[in-house]
Amino acid sequence: MAEQHVIRVLRDKRSELAGLVKGLERELGEHRAALMHLDVTMRLFDPETRPEEIGPRQRRRCNAWFRPGECLRLIYDVLRDAPQPMTTREVVERMTELKSISLSDDCQHALIQKTVLASLNRAKDTIERVETAGVVRWRVRQAARERCQ
């Protein structure tokens, strides 16, 4: 016969997960209803509008290292002071020094590098990607640099 304490713990875990799923389903129903009301309201103001053609906006998750907008501000600080374009790795190392972030393993380093790279790619108007000999480096665009000074 199975160990009773193992079965009890598994039942408790299943009950917890079932409650979580039920709550999420209820929340999903509420969001769907709100979306439907919003669509109807949009059609009241503009009968020609097609709300179903509006694509969903991706929600970005916050991370433990940077507050909203802080990563990009730090990138600007690092690149603005750099005498020449910097690699993503160099930018990450400088930012971790500025923030006193200690990365305990390669996985954390890869995650923070991915975060920084995503911010660099989103800032196409102000940060320039420079590729030389297959190595990608970054610098603040000249027009953006002049605005900052």
CATH number at residue 90: 1.10.10.10
Are 19 and 80 contained in the same domain? no
DSSP-based three-state secondary structure for 84 = coil
Domain that holds residue 141: 70-148
Instruction: Work out how many domains the chain is built from and give that number.
Output: 2
Give pLDDT, residue 26: 97
Check: CB of residue 74 under 8 Å from CB of residue 95. yes
Residue 125 scores a pLDDT above 90: no
Q: What's the start-to-end Cα distance of the chain, in Å?
A: 76
Are 11 and 44 contained in the same domain? yes
Are 98 and 138 contained in the same domain? yes
10-39 mean pLDDT: 96
Check: CB of residue 72 under 8 Å from CB of residue 38. no
- In this structure, what token pair is assigned to residue 123? 């800032």
Least reliable range by pLDDT among 2-6, 92-96, 109-113, 144-148: 144-148
Distance CA 20, CA 96 (A): 37
Domain-located, residue 118? yes
Mean pLDDT of the chain: 87
Instruction: Say which amino acid occupies 67.
Output: R
Residue 65 scores a pLDDT above 90: no
| pLDDT bracket for residue 62 (50, 70, 90) | low
